[in-house]
């Protein structure tokens, strides 16, 4: 699969990219992006990395510049109506803070459901499997801050 992705023969799903990133102990942004020097940096929208899952339509836009230590990653996500995106557990020390911007999102943490509405936030250690489900008839948008405490 890695060879197919590198050659541009295959576009991976969010789940496949999540598994690759977990195996390499990286965030999705680190897997598909390039690290920058830790200094003031404006990241224009046109420079923000965007990943679109070809099967589900899930879209993840990396809002934060990537640094070599990879400690914090901020992303804006959109999940179309009736779709889901599942991710494997990250390594120990990774935590996520999720805030729904618009809509209602069901988040499964080790299969335990949490309903997160616009303006609500959810914290979870992400060394557990987690899945985002949009069980509504409208797209849901949400922010995630990924904090890799193991890199400090």
Determine if the pTM surpasses 0.95.
no
Both tokens of 29, joined, read: 């942004």
Q: Which residue has the tokens 């904090």?
A: 147
Lowest mean pLDDT among 15-19, 55-59, 135-139: 15-19
Q: What is the DSSP string of 65-76?
A: PPBTT--EEEEE
**Domains identified in the chain, total number:** 1
- What's the farthest any 2 CA atoms get from each other in the chain? 42
Three-state DSSP at 46 gives: helix
For residue 133 the two structure tokens come to: 């489900």
CB burial of 1-33 (b: ≥16 within 10 Å; e: otherwise) equals: eeeeeeeeeeebbbbbbbbbbbeeebbbbbbbb
CA distance 91 to 117: 27
**Binning pLDDT at 50, 70 and 90, where does residue 19 land?**
confident
- Beta-bridge partner residues of 110: none
> For 82, which DSSP code?
T
pLDDT in tens, 36-49: 677 888 989 998 98
pLDDT mean over 142-150: 91
Domain that includes residue 88, residue range? 2-151
Q: Write the CATH number for 94.
A: 2.60.120.10
- Comparison of pLDDT for 78 and 19, the residue scoring more: 78
Which range has the worst mean pLDDT, 15-24, 39-48, 51-60, 137-146?
15-24
């Amino acid at each position: 699969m890695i060879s197919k992705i590198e050659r541009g023969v295959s576009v991976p799903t969010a789940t496949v990219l999540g598994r690759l990133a977990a195996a390499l102990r990286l965030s999705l942004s680190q897997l598909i992006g390039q690290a920058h020097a830790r200094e003031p940096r404006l990241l224009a929208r046109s420079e923000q990395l965007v990943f679109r899952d070809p099967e589900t339509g899930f879209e993840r836009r990396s809002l934060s510049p990537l640094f070599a230590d990879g400690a914090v990653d901020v992303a804006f996500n959109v999940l179309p109506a009736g779709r889901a995106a599942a991710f494997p557990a990250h390594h120990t020390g990774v935590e996520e803070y999720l805030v729904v911007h618009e809509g209602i999102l069901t988040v499964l943490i080790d299969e335990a459901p949490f309903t997160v509405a616009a303006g609500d936030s959810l914290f979870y250690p992400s060394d557990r499997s987690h899945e985002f489900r949009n069980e509504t008839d409208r797209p849901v948008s949400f922010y995630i801050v990924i904090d890799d405490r193991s890199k400090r």
